[in-house]
Chain A
Amino acid sequence: GAVVSQHPSWVICKSGTSVKIECRSLDFQATTMFWYRQFPKQSLMLMATSNEGSKATYEQGVEKDKFLINHASLTLSTLTVTSAHPEDSSFYICSARDLGTGAPDTQYFGPGTRLTVL
């Protein structure tokens, strides 16, 4: 089946540093990947839609200069949290849509990255 990986699975960093999270579709191509975050005891929230070869589309309230998204290939999207602060500590999850299926609404989820900013 379709597999999406994320790296790293967890990261602890100091306030002010930047952190890059990778999302890869391992056995399929994805023109569209989605980035979500989940604060403790809250539901997942869509942050941005990442489109291969073009700029990401950010949801209202998500700072595009702080959360840099690059979707350089059909199998890789990266999310960089710039100048991270403790309030950015969260669980970040990506998902990818499989081009090859006949079900365009199907999304496959990565295992998530837990970010802790000290």
Chain B
Amino acid sequence: KNEVEQSPQNLTAQEGEFITINCSYSVGISALHWLQQHPGGGIVSLFMLSSGKKKHGRLIATINIQEKHSSLHITASHPRDSAVYICAVSGGGADGLTFGKGTHLIIQP
């Protein structure tokens, strides 16, 4: 079973700062997901990666398959980015996701 570790668990930063959240996993995967969960609980899928790098607006996600590591970056952070960011991995096929514990991000004005 894959072990997914995220760091940091909690992060408070000032508006405008560059944010990095890290994720590592123990077993080879077919895809890694970055998810955003707001206080109400709803989950939004931000990225799905199997290699390289993806960018969407101010969000950038990278993955290093050899090192079993991924990072999520937020540039020019804003209070509306405050949420829990969750890393999850899938083994492909019909497998469900294995989740990290999440990083609770607070961006202060």
Taking the closest CB of chain B, its distance from the CB of A40, in whole angstroms, is 11
User: Contact flags (1/0) for B19-48 with A, using CB distance below 8 Å?
Assistant: 000000000001101010000111111001
Q: Are B99 and A43 in contact (CB under 8 A)?
A: yes
A95, B44: Cα distance in complex, Å: 11
Contacts of B90 in A (CB 8 A): 105, 107
Which of B31, B95, B99 is in CB contact (< 8 Å) with A44?
Answer: B99
Contacts of A93 in B (CB 8 A): 41, 43
A49 on the B face (CB < 8 A): yes
Known: A93-B43, A109-B35. A43 touches B102 (CB 8 A): yes
Task: Count chain A residues whose beta carbon lies closer than 8 angstroms to a beta carbon of B.
Answer: 26
Q: Are B43 and A112 in contact (CB under 8 A)?
A: yes
Q: Are A109 and B45 in contact (CB under 8 A)?
A: yes
Q: Are B96 and A46 in contact (CB under 8 A)?
A: yes
Q: Are B41 and A34 in contact (CB under 8 A)?
A: no
B-side interface size class = 20 to 34
Q: Are B86 and A44 in contact (CB under 8 A)?
A: yes
A83 on the B face (CB < 8 A): no
Q: Are A49 and B96 in contact (CB under 8 A)?
A: yes
Identify 6 new A-B residue pairs, CB closer than 8 A, beyond the known A43-B86, A59-B96. A34-B97, A38-B41, A46-B96, A46-B97, A105-B92, A108-B45
B residues whose Cβ falls under 8 Å from a Cβ of A: 30-31, 33, 35, 40-45, 48, 50, 86, 88, 90, 92-102
A residues whose Cβ falls under 8 Å from a Cβ of B: 32, 34, 36, 38, 42-46, 49, 51, 57, 59, 91, 93, 95, 103-109, 111-112, 114
What are 17 A-B pairs at a CB distance below 8 A?
A43-B101, A44-B88, A49-B96, A59-B96, A95-B96, A95-B97, A103-B48, A104-B92, A105-B48, A105-B50, A106-B45, A107-B33, A107-B97, A109-B35, A111-B40, A112-B41, A112-B43
